[in-house]
Amino acid sequence: MGLRKGRCFIALCVVGLVICGLGGAEGGDIVHDDSAPKKPGCENDFVLVKVQTWVDGVEDMEFVGVGARFGKAIVSKEKNANQSRLTLSDPRDCCSTLKHNLTNEVIMVDRGKCTFTKKANIAEAAGASAVLIINNQKELYKMVCDPHETDLDIHIPTVMLPRDAGSSLEKMLTNTNSSVSVQLYSPRRPVVDIAEVFLWLMAVGTILCASYWSAWSARDAAIEHDKLFEDASDEVLNAKDANSSSVVEITTISAVLFIVVASCFLILLYSFMSAWFIELLVVLFCIGGVEGLQTCLVALLSRWFKRSAQSFVKLPIIGAISYLTLAISPFCITFAVVWAVYRDWSYAWIGQDILGIALIITVLQIVRLPNLKVGTVLLSCAFLYDIFWVFISKKLFHESVMIVVARGDRSGEEGIPMLLKIPRMFDPWGGYSIIGFGDILLPGLLVAFSLRYDWLANKSFQAGYFLWAMLAYGLGLLVTYVALNLMDGHGQPALLYIVPFTLGTLITLGKKRGDLRVLWSEGEPIRPCTHVRLPPADDESRQGHRN
C-alpha cells in the first residue's frame, strides 16, 4: 500500500508540472506579425525563404531567411526560381548609389542606417534581381515600411538573413576565387500533413486505452466491494480504504486551485525559461515516464507472470514491491535515461512519445472525476486557461506565453518535453506536429468517467455515453487541426474546441436521457443492494402485524 501511495504522489506531482507547463497550444514555424501594418506596395505576408547556394556550379549550403512586407513576392516552387550570381554591395550598407552595375545579380548588403526600402530602391536602380540584407543579430527581423513612406514601387524581392548566414556567405565570396550563385524560393506547406493524422490517432488511442483500463479497475473494485460486503462489515471498511489509497478523486476546490497553480507555474516557466530549467523539466518528465512505463508494463505482463506479480519483497525506504516490478524497473530507468541523453537525435521523439503515453495512461488510471459537476468545473477552467495564455496573454506580454513556453523559444532548446510530437513528413520546412499532455489528460478524465458510468450502469454501447464522448473528443481535436491549418500556422488552443465538444455532448445527452442529475451529483448509478437481506419474521411478529 505504501508503494501505491508513493506512485500516486509521484504521478500527481509530475502531471501537475505537465499540465501547468503546457495546457495545449500548437503553432507552426511560419513568421507572423499581425501588429505590423500593411499598406499599398507594402502588403506582403511574412514568409520564410530558402536561400540555396552553389559554388562553381556545385550545390553548397542552404540558409533560411524571412521575406519583407514590400517588393516582389517570392516564388513558391523551386523549379520556378532562377539561379543568380551573388555579389557584395559597394558600399556595404547600400545607402548610397552603387559603384557597379548589377544586372540580374543578387546583392548582399549589411543592415545600416537607412531604411530597408531605400536599400531595395538603390539595388533595383542598379539592376539587381534581389536583395539579401544581413542582420546584425543572430535572430531574424521582420522588414516593414515606415508609416509615412510613399516610394514603395519596388519590383525585386528582399530577404533578411541572420548574422551567421551572412558570415558564411561572405566567406564564400571573399575566401575563394569561385563564382557563388543563389536561388530564392518559399515553398508552401501542405494543407494536411500525415503527421497530424498519426498524432490524432495517438491522442485518441491513448484515451481509449486509459478509459478501458480505468473502467475495468472500477468494475473489479465494485465487484470486490460487493463480495466483501456480503462477508463482513469490517472488511468493507478495509476495502474502502484500499480503494481510496489507489485512486485520487478530484474535488471542485482542487479543480479550481489546480488551474490557478497551473497559471502561476506557466508564468514561472515563461520568466525563467533557460537551458537549466529545461534540464530540470526533463528530469521530472523522466521520473513520471519511468513510473508510467513501469505501471503499464507490469499491468500487461502480470497476465503471463502471475506468480511474480503476486510475490513481494520488502525493500528499505520503498517498502513492499513485487518481483515483476523489480525485474522491469531497470529497463524502464535505462529507457528514460537513454532518451534524456540522446533527446536531441532525430528519432528521439519516439522515446518521448512512449514515455509520455505511458505517463498519461497511468495518471488517467489513478486520477478520477467523481461526477460531472467536478468535470465541468475542471474543463471550464482549463478552457479559459487555454484561451487566456494563448490569445489574451499577447496583449500583456507582447507574445503568446503558451506558445513561447511550448516551443522553448527562450531556452535554446527545442521545447519542454511534456508533449507528444511527430516530425512533419511532407513539410518542406520540417519541424514537428505537437499536442500538449493537457489536451489529452483533461478531456481524458471526462471520457474515462463516461465509460466507468456506462459499465456500472450496464448500459449498451450505443445507449451509453462513452461512444459519444469518444467521438466528440476525436471531432474536437480534428477541428483543432482544421483551425490550425486555416490560420496558416497561428497557435491554436486545442481545449478551445475540445471542451465544448466533449462537455457539451455529455451534458446534452444526460439531460435528454434523464440521467443528468445522477451524472452531475452522484457520478455513478444507484445500484440495488442485492446482498442485504431482511431477517425472516417469526409467527408472533406476523400475528402482531395482522393485528
Q: Report pLDDT digits (tens) over 375-387.
A: 999 999 999 988 8
- CA distances (Å), origin 116, targets 260, 267, 343: 45, 36, 40
Among 386, 427, 454, 515, the one annotated catalytic? 386
Cell numbers for 312: 513481494
Phi, psi of 73 (to 5 degrees): -65, 145
- pLDDT for 528: 54
pLDDT of 543 higher than 80:
no
386 annotated active-site: yes
Burial class (CB in 10 A: 0-12, 13-18, 19+), 149: middle
**Interatomic CA distance for residues 191 and 426, integer angstroms:** 10
pLDDT of 109 higher than 80:
yes
Note if the pTM is more than 0.75: yes
- pLDDT for 415: 67
**Interatomic CA distance for residues 224 and 281, integer angstroms:** 39
How many residues make up the chain in this entry?
547
Q: In terms of pLDDT, which residue wins out, 83 or 391?
A: 83
**Interatomic CA distance for residues 93 and 71, integer angstroms:** 18
409 annotated active-site: no
- The pLDDT tens digits of the residues spanning 214-258 come to 888 888 777 776 676 555 544 444 544 444 446 788 899 988 988
pLDDT of 122 higher than 90:
yes
User: Other C-beta atoms within 10 Å of 508: how many?
Assistant: 13
Q: Helix, strand or coil for residue 477?
A: helix
pLDDT of 406 higher than 90:
no
pLDDT band at 488 (very low <50, low <70, confident <90, very high): low
DSSP string, 194-246: HHHHHHHHHHHHHHHHHHHHHHHHHHHHHHHHHHHHHH-HHHHHHHHHHHHHH
pLDDT of 108 higher than 90:
yes
- The pLDDT tens digits of the residues spanning 501-514 come to 999 999 999 999 99
**Interatomic CA distance for residues 501 and 495, integer angstroms:** 9
- With a CB cutoff of 8 Å and minimum separation 6, the contacts of 520 are 371, 372, 373, 510
Looking at residues 161-165, what average pLDDT do you find? Answer: 92
pLDDT-wise least confident of 24-33, 169-178, 437-446? 24-33
pLDDT band at 30 (very low <50, low <70, confident <90, very high): very low
**Residue 248, CB-side half-sphere exposure with 13 Å CA sphere:** 19
- pLDDT for 506: 95
Q: In terms of pLDDT, which residue wins out, 248 or 361?
A: 361
- pLDDT for 249: 86
DSSP letter at 133 equals E
pLDDT of 533 higher than 60:
no
pLDDT band at 426 (very low <50, low <70, confident <90, very high): confident
Average pLDDT of the chain is: 82
- pLDDT for 41: 83
Among 110, 353, 427, 439, the one annotated catalytic? 439
**Interatomic CA distance for residues 54 and 332, integer angstroms:** 48
Residue span(s) of the chain under CATH 3.50.30.30 come to 48-185
Looking at residues 50-55, what average pLDDT do you find? Answer: 93
Q: What angle do CA 413, 415, 419 make, to 5 degrees?
A: 150
- CATH second-level architecture of 48-185? 3-Layer(bba) Sandwich (3.50)
**Residue 432, CB-side half-sphere exposure with 13 Å CA sphere:** 21
**Interatomic CA distance for residues 313 and 496, integer angstroms:** 48
Percent of the residues in the chain that have a pLDDT greater than 70, as a whole number: 82
Percent of the residues in the chain that have a pLDDT greater than 90, as a whole number: 40
pLDDT band at 357 (very low <50, low <70, confident <90, very high): very high
Q: Which of 200, 201, 206, 198 is nearest to 445 (CA)?
A: 206
